Chain A
Amino acid sequence: MTALREAALSALVALGLFAPIVGLRTVPGEGGLALAPQPGLVGVLVGLVFFGRLGVHLRDRLRPAPGRAAVRPRLAATTARLGAWLAPALIALALIWPALVGRYYVDLAILVLTYVMLGWGLNIVVGLAGLLDLGYVAFYAVGAYAYALIAQFTGLGFWTCLPMAGLLAALWGVTLGFPVLRLRGDYLAIVTLAFGEIIRVVLLNWVSLTGGPNGISGIPRPTLFGLRFGGDEPGSFAGFFHLTSSPMQRIVFLYYVILGLAFFTNLVSLRLRRLPLGRAWEALREDEIACRSLGINITRTKLTAFAVGALFGGFAGAFFATRQGFVSPESFTFMESATVLAIVVLGGLGSQLGVALAAIVMIGGAELFREFADYRMLVFGLALVVMMVLRPRGLVSTRTPSVALGTPRMIGADMVAQGRG
């Protein structure tokens, strides 16, 4: 009976929420906007809420309290075993991917890998050091524009510009990191967000340098030890190896470039995690005050996290620029930051494998269901909320410190809820 009453109440609230916004769609009409009622849709949504609430209630009754403990030891062990062979399997699959599938899927994989790399880069800042950065796209943009502009003005190639783009982005990371060192988590988030927006607005309005909304086009493509792709004269890839030129060659090459960059990111973050620096990051994430009391240099720790994260963002940006051959401020909106953050959070802040899987599911999934593109960010946003409520440590959560005194213990959602996480 209580279940029914609560479900009815929820449905009533849902009716209030949805009736004006969903139920009355504003459409262009004669002399201004007109309203188009959509009672059916509201009915469906309210019905969903009603039965959803009823379902939750029934589940709670059938399976009382222990059901809430999300990470049970057995499940965690299974995940760990799964992870042990899943990672090598994924790497092997990634290495032979272009041989298995057609052009569309290689292109898609390039996109996914770009996000995997961005995710791993942001993971250093958010997952390891626990600094919530909502303006990560700024470094991506700096990398992309750095490559585009350096190539435009000096004529240098991709491989020369790549480190420069990364370093420039890292420099921006430090420049941003320095003033925000003293800020607490929430403030930091909003300042980084503001920084991301400032970069975008500047790119949009500094027309003489960046071309404004038109962006920069004609960005040179990467070469393989000086061999160009496209055409079959002696200086090109196809000409050198006496092959017939095909656009596929460049796509496969780009695929391996981003795969290499992503592996590099992964390798560096895995190594850094074991260095004193990486351990300081993880300690900082767990408790800043304790860190400071133990004599860890907070300034240096935070700045390096920002710089390393920004470095990989810059690399990814340079790759993005060379892959597209075109950059414009359109590509660097807040939604991009939000997407990368969603990947990191869903992957389980700090878990490398989790981030890769989350990127595959979210970016690959969103690409495959193109017709629902409008719903993509809606789903991402809701996923962030649901994730925080149900599994705050991520889907593939192995957010244990890399080095620990004694045996590490698995912490379940129930303990997190008690504030012991």
Chain B
Amino acid sequence: MAYALQQLINGVTLGMIYGLIAVGYTMVYGIIGMINFAHGDVFMIGAFVSLVSLLGLAALGVSAVPLALGLTLLGAVAISALYGWAIERLAYRPLRGSFRLAPLISAIGMSIALENYVQVVQGARVKPLAPVVPGGLTLMTEGSFAVQLGWMQVVIVVVTLAVLALFTWLVTKTPLGRAMRACEQDLKMAALLGIDTDRTISLTFVIGAALAAVAGLLFLLYYGSIDFFVGFIAGVKAFTAAVLGGVGSLPGAVLGGLLIGLIETIWSAYFSVQYKDVAAFSILAVALIFMPTGLLGRADVEKV
């Protein structure tokens, strides 16, 4: 019981991170109907900017943890958003209206390029980081097993919920959000009605990248180590989350993220750690084949 509770806590924490990344996939897919393959790597960039920022702030003598984390969050979001914008501008926008596979191939190229760019400039080694928010709360003990709720996990859940609340407000209440939803429904019609679709798409990428950056920072804090390849696996898992929740559905992405986080944690805890990635990938395949619309998605009508 205690063991299961612990796995539940860990799974929800991990799921929050996946959910944040998944939102970026689902938004971009909703608007321009392409899988932004490089999204996982924007997440990785966010984690690296966070690492650099935390180290830099420590070197400058900023010792207050909340201040350092706040500044890092802002920095990572800003830089990653810039990356998101630049990627869209350079690799995707010129391809609008090109043949079917073109944007996808371009996205894969971008992903490979970003991974190797970080590998070249930052080195291939795993980058460790000492725990920034140590300690935690012992919820209950059962025999020799104590259920721990780390402060870090609390921070992750709180930050994720706050960011998602901000994001929901942005999508549902602001003019930009309205434009985004309009573009999602019908890009051409939105353009006819005077919405600057290029700008809206750009901003979608920027927002998605910003959320990924938050996830990157949280991931770095949670695991305490990153390398240039974290974006690949995390990206595929977050994509799985987006598919599971229903591509195009924002609450679905978060729900899918939570599910993937829980499944992965429980699988590692009760079956095998080595095959945890296989579990996530198999879920992706099974979800796509048997439930292509996901949990909260709507059916995709193919028009000729």
Contact surface of A with B, Cβ cutoff 8 Å? 13, 16-17, 20-22, 24-28, 32-35, 41, 126, 130, 132, 134, 179-180, 182-183, 185-187, 189-191, 193-195, 197-198, 201-202, 204-205, 289, 334-335, 338, 341-342, 345, 349, 374-378, 380-385, 387-389, 392, 416-419, 421
- Is B55 interfacial (CB-CB < 8 Å)? yes
Report B103 CB to chain A, min CB distance, Å. Answer: 8
Which chain A positions have C-beta within 8 A of B53? 20
Q: Are B51 and A26 in contact (CB under 8 A)?
A: yes
Given contacts A34-B55, A384-B112, A388-B95, contact A205 B49 (CB under 8 A): no
Q: Number of residues in B with C-beta < 8 Å to the partner? A: 71
Contact of A190 among B35, B91, B117, B123 (CB under 8 A): B35
Report B289 CB to chain A, min CB distance, Å. Answer: 5
How many angstroms from the CA of A21 to the CA of B118 in the assembled complex? 7
Q: Are B129 and A392 in contact (CB under 8 A)?
A: no
How many angstroms from the CA of A187 to the CA of B33 in the assembled complex? 11
23 residue pairs from A and B, CB less than 8 Å apart = A20-B75, A21-B52, A21-B79, A22-B121, A33-B129, A126-B101, A186-B34, A187-B243, A204-B274, A338-B108, A338-B112, A374-B120, A377-B115, A378-B112, A378-B120, A383-B109, A384-B106, A385-B90, A385-B109, A388-B91, A388-B105, A388-B106, A389-B95
Q: In B91-112, which residues have CB < 8 Å from any A CB?
A: 91, 94-95, 97-106, 108-112
Which chain B positions have C-beta within 8 A of A349? 101
How many angstroms from the CA of A189 to the CA of B102 in the assembled complex? 13
Q: Are A417 and B120 in contact (CB under 8 A)?
A: no
Q: Are A13 and B86 in contact (CB under 8 A)?
A: yes
Q: Are A33 and B123 in contact (CB under 8 A)?
A: no
Q: Are A35 and B112 in contact (CB under 8 A)?
A: no
Which chain B positions have C-beta within 8 A of A387? 109
Q: Are B292 and A182 in contact (CB under 8 A)?
A: yes
Contact of A134 among B55, B97, B99, B108 (CB under 8 A): B108
Report B244 CB to chain A, min CB distance, Å. Answer: 13
Q: Are A17 and B83 in contact (CB under 8 A)?
A: yes
Which chain A positions have C-beta within 8 A of B94? 389
Q: Are B288 and A191 in contact (CB under 8 A)?
A: yes
Contact of A183 among B101, B127, B288 (CB under 8 A): B288
Contact surface of B with A, Cβ cutoff 8 Å? 34-35, 45, 48-49, 51-53, 55-56, 59, 75, 78-79, 82-83, 85-86, 90-91, 94-95, 97-106, 108-123, 125, 127-130, 232, 236, 239, 243, 272, 274-275, 277-278, 281-282, 284-285, 288-289, 292, 302, 304
* Max chain B C-beta neighbours (<10 A), residue from A183, A190, A345, A374: A190
Given contacts A34-B59, A179-B285, A381-B114, contact A194 B236 (CB under 8 A): yes
Contact of B104 among A132, A197, A342, A383 (CB under 8 A): A132
Which chain B positions have C-beta within 8 A of A374? 116, 119-120
How many angstroms from the CA of A345 to the CA of B103 in the assembled complex? 12
How many angstroms from the CA of A411 to the CA of B278 in the assembled complex? 43
Q: Are B106 and A389 in contact (CB under 8 A)?
A: yes
Q: Are B109 and A382 in contact (CB under 8 A)?
A: yes
